[in-house]
Structure 1
Amino acid sequence: MSMHRPVPAPLQSQTSGSSAVYDAHDLIPDGIKAEIVLDGQTYTLRITRTGKLILTK
């Protein structure tokens, strides 16, 4: 069973031709990892010790 948290508001609003901007620390509140679901597939987004992001399936 997964716990769904509300998605934080983007730092920048989405306008025509641009993307929404999120701070990774807002998406990963525990500072370790977050699960992202797309079309029933679960992906894991992690922040490494060196401050890089890794997205795995």
Structure 2
Amino acid sequence: MTLMSKLPTPRPDAAAADSAVYDARDLVANGEKATIVLDGQTYILRITRAGKLILTK
């Protein structure tokens, strides 16, 4: 199974017809953090208690 097959289904959004739209809470399934890899670099996406997103390297 590839990483892309594990992603939630993108939500339809007329304003973003040229890109996929994901709810951050779907990406951060455990409610705390998600690990994102880009070109071998690992990033952590977190949702704060205040409902803000933080992306760190």
TM-score by length of 2: 0.79
Offset of residue 19 of structure 1: 1.7
Q: How many residue pairs are counted as aligned between the two chains?
A: 51
In structure 1, list runs of 5 or more residues that go unmatched: none
Given residue 8 of structure 1, which amino acid in structure 2 is its aligned partner? P
The ranges of structure 1 where at least 4 consecutive aligned residues each deviate by more than 2 angstroms after the TM superposition are: none
TM-score by length of 1: 0.79
Compute the RMSD of aligned alpha carbons: 1.9
Alpha-carbon distance between aligned partners in 1 of 2:22 and 2:40, rounded to the nearest angstrom: 22
Q: Percent identity?
A: 65
